[in-house]
Structure 1
Amino acid sequence: MRYILFIVAVLIFTSCRNENGNILKGAWLVEEIHWITKDTTYSINKAQPGIFIISDSVYSFIWTPIKEKRKSFKKLATPTTEEIIYGFQSIVLNAGTYQMTDSVLTINAIVAKVPGFEGGQQTFSYQINDDTLQLKMVDETYPNGAKPAWFGKLETQFVMSRLD
């Protein structure tokens, strides 16, 4: 009986991984965002569009940190200064390479929305249940080695569903 349970457990575990063993590989839709401090959690339970894509060696992560739908520019080709500022503040994105273990993902930005963050790192813990990914940012390091003011005080958790 133990042998059968072991075989079933191995089959379940390996069926959750793709051919290269990377259970994160694919595209994930951001469904929820939670900013967690020791005494308060601020949540967006129905997040605006965001997507996390991960391949064998690179990732791209784009998400919207606001509850409401982003406002369109009145004239798409000629936005006002206020519209440009709002557009910049209403989206987060970076892309690059990554390393991962069975529970930790560290991303290394090659391209970033914020000029100067190229070469920076973000570290996430992660869990997958069926087609739901919980990705919690627990650390960020700027290219010069400095940490942001929120380090040690805030964690950002994303709940995502698998798109493919």
Structure 2
Amino acid sequence: MRLVCKIVLVSICLATSPRLIAESSIEGVWEISKIVWDVEATTNSEPLPSLMIFTSAHYSFVWMPDETAIEAFETRWQPTDREKLQRFDELVVNTGSYEISNEKIRVTPTIARMPEFMGGLMVYGFEWSGDDLVLTLLEEYTFDGVSAPWVEESSGKIHLTLSRVSD
């Protein structure tokens, strides 16, 4: 009977340890080192600056999806309406809580650049590639459950390869 109990205990530990390792090792500060857009069949191996931070229960994402660096405003601290509109599309910003289950990361933003995304949901598949973490956008919804058109209409996916900056 003791042998059976030991085998069951070891089996439980082995079955749950990869998940515990995945959940704990995601914590830290990351930067996007590569962006792959399946729908456009493009890869950006030198993306613009970014930071993605994961604590034990919260996250913060700030990144620039384009390949051209953002420019300073013509008149410092006084952007024109055109410059404000352009800047809106140049940054992805959201922060909130997250949870991991079944090899998916579900983020729920409390603050976001787009108001309808606050209280919404974004689901990423994730996998490890060596020391890097690869996030694949699977679903994105507003606070009232409306699917983001760029996810709904796209047969391709967006893959973000994250490289650790610090723990």
Give the TM-score normalised by structure 1. Answer: 0.82
Tell me which residue corresponds to 2:89: 89
Q: Say how many residue pairs are matched.
A: 149
Distance 1:131 1:117 in 2: 30
Q: Which residue of 1 aligns with 2:103?
A: 103
Gaps of 5+ in 2: 1-13
Counting only pairs closer than 5 Å after superposition, residues 1-164 of structure 1 correspond to structure 2 as 17=21, 21-37=23-39, 40-101=40-101, 103-150=103-150, 151=152, 153-164=155-166
1:44 and 1:57 map into 2 onto residues whose CA distance is 29
Summarize deviations over 1:71-94 as a string: whole Å, max 9, x none. Answer: 111223111111111111101010
Q: Of Structure 1 and Structure 2, which has the larger fraction of its residues in helix? A: 2
RMSD value, Cα = 2.1
Secondary structure, counterpart of 1:116 in structure 2: helix
Cα deviations across residues 37-80 of structure 1 (Å, max 9, x unaligned)? 3xx42222210011110001100011101101111112231111
Gaps of 5+ in 1: 1-9
Which secondary structure state, in structure 1, belongs to the residue aligned with residue 85 of structure 2? helix
Deviant stretches of 4+, over 6 Å: none
In structure 2, how many angstroms separate the alpha carbons of the residues matched to 1:108 and 1:154?
23
Distance 2:51 2:113 in 1: 15
Q: Take 1:28 and 1:159, find their aligned partners in 2: how far apart are those partners?
A: 10
Of the two, which has the highest radius of gyration?
2
Tell me, yes or no, if the aligned pair for 2:117 and 2:141 is still in contact at 8 Å. no
Kindly, what percent of the aligned residue pairs are identical? Answer: 22
Letter paired with 1:27:
V
Aligned partner letter, 2:145: G
SS state of the match for residue 29, structure 1?
strand
How far, CA to CA, are the matches of 2:114 and 2:42 in structure 1? 23
Structure 1 SS opposite 2:66: coil
